[in-house]
Amino acid sequence: MRMILLGPPGAGKGTQSVRIAEHYKIPQLSTGDMLRAAVAAQTPVGMKAKEAMDAGALVSDDIVVGIVADRIDEPDAANGFILDGFPRTVAQAEALGRMLESKRQPLDIVLEFVVDEGILLDRIATRARETAERGEPVRKDDNPEVFKTRLAAYKEQTAPLSQHYEATGLLRQVDGMKPIDEVTQAVFGILGKLA
C-alpha cells in the first residue's frame, strides 16, 4: 500500500504513521526525519537544509524530491510506503506523480488529518515538554515562534494539496482531534476498505 499522510504540523501524522507502518509492514518515510538525520550527520544535503528548517520554512523542492526518489528505491519500500511530511507543495506532488508513474507504482490513498488550528500550538508545547522530560533533545523548531512560521508555510504551500488530491479521487479525511486510539481506529477502518 502506497499512501500519503497530509495535515498540519502537530496533527498526529507521525504518531499514526508508526502504527500504520507496524500493521501493514511498510516503512514510514518522514522527510522531516530524513532531513534532521542529514543535518545531524552534516551531509551536503543537511548543510543546505539546516537554515530553512531552523526558521520553520520549507527546504527547496529539488533537495526533498531527490531524497524521496532515492528512498523509495530501497528494497523495503517495494511493497509500499507511508509518506509523512511529503509532498508539501504542489510542485512536490507533481514530481512524486511523475516518479511513481515511471515506476508503475500508483498511490492508493491520501489521508488528511483535519484538526483545529487553535489547539495545535498546545500540542506542540506538550510534545516539547514531554520530549524534554524523557531527557531527549527537543526539536529546535518545536517552539511557539517557529511553529507559527511552520503553520503559515503549511497553510500557504501545503493546504492546497488537499484539493489537488481530491480532484484525483484519492483523498480521504479523518478527524484528527479525537483521542489517538480513536483516530487509529478511523484510519484502519478506511484502509481496511482499500484492500
Q: Which residues are catalytic?
A: 13, 88, 127, 139, 150
Tell me the β-bridge partners of 111.
Answer: 5, 172
- C-alpha span between 120 and 34 (Å, rounded): 23
Distance (Å) of CA 148 to CA 75, 128, 143? 37, 15, 9
Residue 7 found at the interface with ligand AMP (CB under 6 A): no
Residue 120 found at the interface with ligand AMP (CB under 6 A): no
Q: Residues near 124 by Cβ (< 8 Å), separated by ≥ 6?
A: 9, 10, 142, 144, 147
Among residues 128, 158, 134, the alpha carbon closest in space to that of 10 is found at 128
Cβ atoms 46, 35 nearer than 8 A: yes
CB of 53 to ligand AMP, least distance (A): 4
Residue 141 found at the interface with ligand AMP (CB under 6 A): yes
Query: Exactly one of 7, 12, 46, 56 binds ligand AMP (CB under 6 A); which one?
Result: 56
Closer CB to ligand AMP, 38 or 174, in the complex: 38
Closer CB to ligand AMP, 58 or 187, in the complex: 58
Q: How many chain residues touch ligand AMP (CB under 6 A)?
A: 17
Which residues here bind ligand AMP, judged by CB under 6 A?
9, 31-32, 35, 52-53, 56-59, 64, 85-86, 88, 92, 141, 150
